[in-house]
C-alpha cells in the first residue's frame, strides 16, 4: 500500500488529539461526564458536534457509571461509541468495565490517567488505569499526542475485530494539557481504514436477542474463558493493526517501544509519556558517562506483550522497572514490575531487577533521578523496591 502524504498538521494537546481521532473515526454515540483532566476531550467533541463536523449523538449523563452504561447500551445496538474518564470517574464506572468486556462490546475509551483520592489529587499518575487492569479490557498506554491520535484509530479497528473494549491511557496533565505537533490523517482515509464491523448479535427489535442473562455455575466459567481467548487473540490482532496502520499512514509503534536497547547493559522499563521521555534523556547522559543504557516502553499493557519484553531484555545485565502506581501490600509494589517478574519466572529467567516507584500524584520525575537509577543498576544490581522522590 502507498504511504499517504501528510496533509494536515496541528498543535494539539493529547486530549484534543483524541477528539480529532474520534471525529475521524465517525463515531455515532458519545456519552460523558466531566472530570479533570479528561474534560477538554469532550469539550472539543461537543464543539465538533455543535458545528456539524461530526454527526454523533452526544449524551450528557449524570455520572461516569451512567456514561459507560449509556455507551454499553448504544454499542449493543451496533453503534460506534466513545467515552472518556479519569481517576474517581473510572473507579465509579468500574462495575460497568466488567460488563462492557464480558458483553464483548467494542467500546473505545480514553483515560488521561490521574491519581486516586484520598487525599484528593487532580494530578497525573497511573493508579486509576492500574485499578482497571483486570477488567478484561485491552489497555494501551501511549507516550505522545501523536501516538494518542494514532492509537484511538487503531483501537476502533482492534475493538471491532475481536469484540473487546479498548482503553487508551496517557499522562494526565503532562500530556492531556500540553501541546505537541500532531499530523492528522485524511478523514476519508481513516474511514476506509475503519469499515464498520458490527457484532453478530445486536439489540434489534426485528431480531430479538437477550444480552446479559443469568448464567448458572454450569455456564458462567465458559464465558469467562471466552474472554481469556479474546484477549490472547487481541494480542495478535493489535500487532497486525499497528502494521496495517503503519503501511497506510506511515506511523507505527509496535506493542513495545525501545530506545538504544540493542547494545544496552542496563535498561529502564516504563510506561507513559513523562517517564519515557526523561528516561531517554537519562539514558543518553548515562551513555556519555560510559554506562551502556537503554529504555523499554510498554505500549500495549493488556494483553501483556511478554515475548517482546523478554526479547528486549535479553541482552541486559540488570534492569529497573519504573512504575507510576502503587500496588499496596504486593510482594513488590509496582504493577509492571509484577508482570515482568511473572513473565521472567515463567520462562526460567533470573536477573537483577529493581522496582522504582515514582511520579505518584505527579511528583516530578527528574532526569537526574532516572540517571541515578542507571548508576544503581551498575553499582549495586539487586532486587529491591525503591520509593524514589518520597520524603522518608
Partner 1 sequence: MTLPKATQLPIGAVIPEPGSTRKNITAGWRTLRPVINDERCIRCQLCWLYCPEGTIVEKRGVFKVGNRTYDVKYEINYDYCKGCGICANECPTKAIEMVPETT
Q: Is position 212 an interface residue for partner 1 (rule: CB under 8 A)?
A: yes
Contact with partner 1 (CB under 8 A): which of 55, 192, 223, 263? 223
Contact with partner 1 (CB under 8 A): which of 140, 163, 249, 371? 163
CB 215 to partner 1: min, Å:
6
334 contacts 323 by C-beta, under 8 angstroms: yes
3-class DSSP state for residue 34? coil
Contact with partner 1 (CB under 8 A): which of 200, 217, 290, 348? 200
The set of cell numbers assigned to 25 is 473515526
217 vs 348 by CB, closer to partner 1: 217
Of the listed pieces 124-132, 201-209, 312-320, 335-343, which binds partner 1 according to CB under 8 A? Answer: 201-209
Q: Is position 209 an interface residue for partner 1 (rule: CB under 8 A)?
A: yes
Neighbour-count burial of 263, counting CB atoms closer than 10 A to its CB (0-12 exposed, 13-18 middle, 19+ buried): exposed
Q: Is position 95 an interface residue for partner 1 (rule: CB under 8 A)?
A: no
DSSP string, 276-291: HHHHHHHHHHHHHTT-
Q: Is position 218 an interface residue for partner 1 (rule: CB under 8 A)?
A: yes
222 vs 350 by CB, closer to partner 1: 222
233 vs 333 by CB, closer to partner 1: 233
Q: How many residues sit in the footprint of partner 1 (CB under 8 A)?
A: 23
103 vs 116 by CB, closer to partner 1: 103
CB 162 to partner 1: min, Å:
10
Measuring CA to CA, which residue among 172, 168, 97, 107 is closest to residue 325?
172
CB 209 to partner 1: min, Å:
5
Q: How many CB atoms are closer than 10 A to CB 190?
A: 22
Of the listed pieces 140-148, 168-176, 195-203, 360-368, which binds partner 1 according to CB under 8 A? Answer: 195-203
Under 8 Å CB-to-CB from 361, ≥6 apart: which residues? 115, 121, 123, 125
Pairing verdict, β 318-323 and 81-84: unpaired
CA distance linking residue 169 with residue 378, whole number of Å: 32
Measuring CA to CA, which residue among 140, 273, 93 is closest to residue 83?
93
Of the listed pieces 83-91, 126-134, 220-228, 234-242, which binds partner 1 according to CB under 8 A? Answer: 220-228
Q: Is position 217 an interface residue for partner 1 (rule: CB under 8 A)?
A: no
From edge to edge, which strands make up the β-sheet containing 166-171? 57-60, 29-32, 81-84, 108-113, 166-171, 138-141, 300-302
CB 31 to partner 1: min, Å:
20
- Report the interface residues with partner 1, using CB under 8 A: 102-105, 163, 199-201, 208-213, 215, 218-219, 222-223, 225-226, 229-230
Amino acid at each position: 500500500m502507498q504511504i499517504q502524504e501528510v496533509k494536515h498538521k496541528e498543535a494539539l494537546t493529547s486530549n484534543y488529539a483524541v477528539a480529532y481521532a474520534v471525529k475521524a473515526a465517525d463515531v455515532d454515540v458519545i456519552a460523558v461526564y466531566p472530570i479533570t483532566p479528561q474534560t477538554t476531550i469532550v469539550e472539543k467533541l461537543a464543539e465538533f458536534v455543535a458545528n456539524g463536523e461530526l454527526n454523533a449523538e452526544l449524551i450528557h449523563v449524570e455520572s461516569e457509571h451512567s456514561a459507560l452504561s449509556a455507551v454499553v447500551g448504544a454499542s449493543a445496538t451496533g453503534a460506534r461509541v466513545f467515552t472518556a474518564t479519569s481517576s474517581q470517574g473510572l473507579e465509579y464506572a468500574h462495575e460497568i468495565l466488567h460488563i462492557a468486556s464480558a458483553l464483548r462490546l467494542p467500546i473505545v475509551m480514553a483515560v488521561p490517567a490521574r491519581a486516586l483520592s484520598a487525599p484528593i489529587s487532580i494530578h497525573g499518575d497511573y493508579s486509576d488505569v492500574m485499578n482497571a487492569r483486570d477488567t478484561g479490557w485491552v489497555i494501551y498506554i501511549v507516550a505522545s499526542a501523536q501516538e494518542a491520535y494514532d492509537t484511538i484509530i487503531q483501537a476502533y479497528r482492534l475493538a471491532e475485530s475481536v469484540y473487546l473494549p479498548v482503553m487508551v491511557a496517557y499522562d494526565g496533565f503532562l500530556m492531556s494539557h500540553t501541546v505537541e505537533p500532531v499530523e492528522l490523517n485524511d478523514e476519508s482515509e481513516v474511514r476506509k481504514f475503519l469499515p464498520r464491523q458490527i457484532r453478530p448479535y445486536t439489540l434489534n427489535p426485528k431480531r430479538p436477542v437477550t444480552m446479559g442473562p443469568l448464567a448458572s455455575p454450569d455456564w458462567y466459567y465458559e464465558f469467562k474463558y471466552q474472554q481469556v481467548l479474546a484477549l490472547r487473540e487481541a494480542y495478535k490482532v493489535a500487532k497486525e493493526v499497528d502494521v496495517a496502520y503503519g503501511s497506510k499512514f506511515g506511523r507505527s509503534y509496535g506493542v513495545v517501544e525501545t530506545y538504544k536497547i540493542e547494545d544496552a547493559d542496563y535498561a529502564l522499563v516504563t510506561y507513559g509519556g513523562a517517564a519515557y521521555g526523561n528516561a531517554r534523556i537519562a539514558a543518553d547522559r548515562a551513555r556519555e558517562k560510559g554506562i551502556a543504557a537503554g529504555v523499554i516502553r510498554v505500549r500495549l499493557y493488556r494483553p501483556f506483550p511478554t515475548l517482546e519484553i523478554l526479547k528486549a531484555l535479553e541482552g541486559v545485565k540488570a534492569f529497573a522497572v519504573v512504575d507510576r502506581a502503587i500496588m499496596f501490600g504486593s510482594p513488590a509494589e509496582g504493577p509492571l514490575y509484577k508482570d515482568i517478574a511473572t513473565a521472567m519466572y515463567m520462562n526460567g529467567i533470573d536477573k537483577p531487577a529493581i522496582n522504582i516507584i515514582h511520579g505518584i500524584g505527579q511528583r516530578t520525575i527528574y532526569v537526574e533521578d532516572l540517571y541515578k537509577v542507571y548508576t544503581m543498576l551498575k553499582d549495586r544490581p539487586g532486587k529491591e523496591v525503591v520509593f524514589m522522590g518520597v520524603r522518608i
